[in-house]
A and B are shown apart, each in its own frame.
Chain A
């Protein structure tokens, strides 16, 4: 005998339970991090303007182990492309062994675009992000907003689940954010493995976040 409410809910539970179990299993697998020797494929989502500048500062401190570096940026963002190219050229002068790719995706939302039409363009960029992320198969995703990085991270989570491939998502909130998170930050606080903030007030509000001081 099953109580009527439970019987009503059971199809939902049947669907939800395996998802919860698989997620829990994946999380367990994820946490058992291993010591690494080979290089690590890095996927960098370059936001635009100041976001890209901050990102390149972070990348400048990374060792050669983070190779190849796959950059994703919005197709309308010529400035980021130029900045990334000159950054990689500078690195190539210092280190002989360098590998990188540049990948364009449609932008989620242009500044001042209406919210209703942003839903459509976001959907489009989600659809676009999936095959790209699957093809690049990153070990680590590094992003710092704005919206462009959300579809990429969601497709990486799916890659995680479907291909049992461990993709670490690291989100770094911009130095500009002192007391409030950006929209991308608010979403990725829940989806990232490591969420880094640069001001103590944010660390207090968001206990799961990591505070390393000012890193850009």
Chain B
């Protein structure tokens, strides 16, 4: 059962939740082979859950850890929050970032834009979400190599004399 996980983090991104839970979107997701949609909606309005033999829509506001949902997802759709972007990519999950146009000057966009340039994720706005879902090819994304904190440790050792 292929599933999509949508997360807005600690913010509130009602426009995204509204677009992604619209019948039109669910239809497209079904045509792409997904049968489960999980929404983490934060503080915004929460759509009614749905359970039919062909499709499940689950909704929750916040959870201590989203690790399990990331793990189960075949596609993650998220706000541009840096934490969420990094967590998704580290878990090796395909990511479609939806930019909140109301927060265009937010510095968080810098990272999402760079990761898009480096072909680690896809990038769209609420108004282009449907088009993106139809056109993107998840297999073209490049894997995201893990960060190297050991280089930082070696650097600190060298400046403090622990070498």
Residues on A facing B (Cβ under 8 Å) = 33-36, 40, 49-50, 53, 57-58, 60-63, 65-66, 139-140, 168, 170, 172, 174-180, 182, 193-194, 196, 199, 210, 212-216
A53: which B residues are within 8 A, CB to CB? 83
Known pairs A34-B161, A65-B162; A215 contacts B149 (CB<8 A): yes
Are B111 and A175 in contact (CB-based, < 8 A)? yes
30 intermolecular pairs with C-beta atoms under 8 Å apart: A33-B161, A35-B161, A40-B160, A57-B149, A61-B149, A61-B150, A62-B153, A63-B162, A168-B159, A168-B160, A170-B159, A172-B152, A175-B82, A175-B86, A175-B111, A176-B107, A176-B110, A177-B110, A177-B111, A178-B111, A178-B114, A180-B107, A194-B155, A194-B159, A210-B155, A212-B152, A214-B148, A216-B86, A216-B147, A216-B149
Residues of B within 8 A of A199 (CB): 114
- Give the top 7 A-B pairs by smallest Cβ distance, nearest first: A61-B149, A36-B161, A61-B153, A176-B82, A215-B152, A178-B110, A178-B114
Q: Which residues of A contact B162 (CB under 8 A)?
A: 36, 40, 63, 65
B148 engages A182 (CB within 8 Å): no
Decide if B108 is an interface residue (CB 8 Å cutoff).
yes
Closest Cβ of chain B to A45, distance in Å, is: 15
User: At the interface, yes or no: B28 with Cβ under 8 Å from chain A?
Assistant: no
Distance in angstroms between the alpha carbons of A58 and B156 in the assembled complex:
11
Docked pose: A142 CA to B141 CA in angstroms: 35
Q: Which range holds the interface residue count of chain B?
A: 20 to 34
Q: Which residues of A contact B147 (CB under 8 A)?
A: 57, 175, 214-216
A sample of 8 more A-B contacts (CB under 8 A), given A49-B83, A212-B155, A215-B149, is A33-B160, A176-B108, A176-B110, A178-B110, A179-B110, A196-B152, A215-B147, A215-B148
Chain B interface helix/strand/loop/mixed: helix
- Measured in the bound complex, the distance between the Cα atoms of B153 and A196 in whole Å is 12
Does B151 interact with chain A (Cβ within 8 Å)?
Answer: yes
Query: Which applies to chain A's interface (DSSP): helix, strand, loop or mixed?
Result: loop
CA A66 to CA B163, docked complex, whole Å: 13
Asked whether, in the complex, the Cβ of B157 is within 8 Å of the Cβ of A177, the reply is: no
Q: Is there an interface contact between B111 and A176, defined as CB atoms closer than 8 Å?
A: yes
Selected contact of A33 from candidates B110, B155, B159, CB within 8 Å: B159
Establish whether residues B151 and A180, one from each chain, have CB atoms under 8 Å apart when the complex forms: no
Most chain A C-beta atoms within 10 Å of own C-beta, residue among B149, B150, B151, B153: B149
Which residues of B1-56 have CB atoms within 8 Å of chain A's CB atoms? Answer: 10
